[in-house]
Structure formats: C-alpha cells, structure tokens
Amino acid sequence: MIGSLRASVIERNSDGTVLVETAGVGYIVHVTPRTLAELEPTSAVFMHVHHHIREDAQTLFGFLDKDERVTFQTLIATHGIGPSMAMAILATHTPRALVDIVATNDHGALTLVPGVGKKTAERLLVELRDKLQLPVLDSLSDKSTATGSAITDVRDALAGLGYSTEEIRDVLRELPADLSAEGLLRQALNLLGARRA
C-alpha cells in the first residue's frame, strides 16, 4: 500500500490528475481542483496518499494536508459515498468547513456539492455526525464553528442577490477562513464582480 509520495510534479491534467515521479517511477494521482492549482510542473511535492484498491483497478488519491486524507477516508467509509463523491465534497468544502457543516446541520452547504441533492445531504449529515469525531479534527476551536456560520450567511446572501449555485460554490472555495461574515461577503462580491466584468 502506498501511504505517501515525495516526488516531482511532471504534469497536471485536465481530468483532475497529476503525474508525479519518484525514483524513476511515474504515478498518476487524483487530486482536488484546489490541490491541482498548487502543483506546478517541475516543483517538488509531498503528498499524503490513499491507495484505493478494487478488483478491476488501483487508484491513488493525493492530499497536501493529512486532515484531507483522513476526511476522505472517513467519507468513503460512509454508506453511499465512493471516491468520486468524496473528492467532489473535498473540492467544495475543506475538512474544517465540513466539520462545521455537520456540526451546524447545514443541508444547504452540502447541496453545493455536484450530485448531492437535499435528501442525500440530509442522509449524509446523519451518517457523518458520528464519523467526523476524529482526533485530528477535534482540535478545532469555537472560531471554526463561527466561521462555518459566517460562510452559511454569505452563501445565503449571495443566493439572495441572484448568484447561481455554481458561482457561489466556486467563490466560497477561494475565501479565507479567518474573516467575519461581512469581510467574507465583501471579498466574495469583489471576486464575483471581477468575474462578471
């Protein structure tokens, strides 16, 4: 089983994979769009890896952050969530945001994930409530819960202003976690305004 890779980035691919090489061997690794953007060709990288083995395929999923890998493994251990859905969830929400979403029972945030409707979101919230009590993630402070509420407020405000679910999802991925709801909304509006200009 491959648990990590220290390698050089050879190429980024449009299908959400990167080719990395270590000791003369190239590995194709599936990553989130956020991670893909950070991996510049020829740069060195250390990735935490989940080696997913099925009868017909072996797939590597790479994460720059250990919390992401732990959350990914928790997600795929949940009924009805396969690796593709787990990656879609992590592409939309960071592990910290996901803990906040589950803690605040925020159905709307989960429906921002492509392929997750209201009923699926409700089921996932119930199933993840116990599973996300992970030691690595339990160290989150009250501040993170406040941040989750602020993001919920911003999402609702943007929806009220007529922005599409896709626009909201994309801009929320880019917002920092250390701003107030007002600061987050201001930055979101600036980003959205620049895109529509």
Percent of the chain having pLDDT more than 70? 90
Q: Any alpha helices (H) in 51-141, and if so which ranges?
A: 66-76, 83-92, 95-103, 107-110, 118-131, 135-138
Q: Which pLDDT score, from 0 to 100, does residue 197 have? A: 63
Extents of the domains making up the chain:
4-64, 67-138, 142-196
User: Which band of pLDDT confidence, cut at 50, 70 and 90, is reported for residue 46?
Assistant: very high
Which CATH superfamily does the domain covering 67-138 fall into? 5' to 3' exonuclease, C-terminal subdomain (1.10.150.20)
Question: What does the pLDDT average to over 30-42?
Answer: 91
pTM: 0.68
Cβ neighbors of 166 (< 8 A, separation 6 or more) are none
Q: Which residue, 66, 67, 22, is CA-closest to 45?
A: 22
Helix axes 66-76, 95-103, angle to 10 degrees: 50
Burial class (CB in 10 A: 0-12, 13-18, 19+), 142: exposed
Radius of gyration for the alpha carbons in the chain, expressed in angstroms and rounded = 17
Token duo for residue 130:
């116990």
For the domain made up of 4-64, give the CATH fold: OB fold (Dihydrolipoamide Acetyltransferase, E2P) (2.40.50)
**Mean pLDDT value across residues 108-137:** 77
Lowest mean pLDDT among 94-98, 107-111, 133-137, 154-158: 133-137
Asked if the model's pLDDT at residue 62 lies above 90, the reply is yes
DSSP H helix total and E strand total for the chain: 10, 5
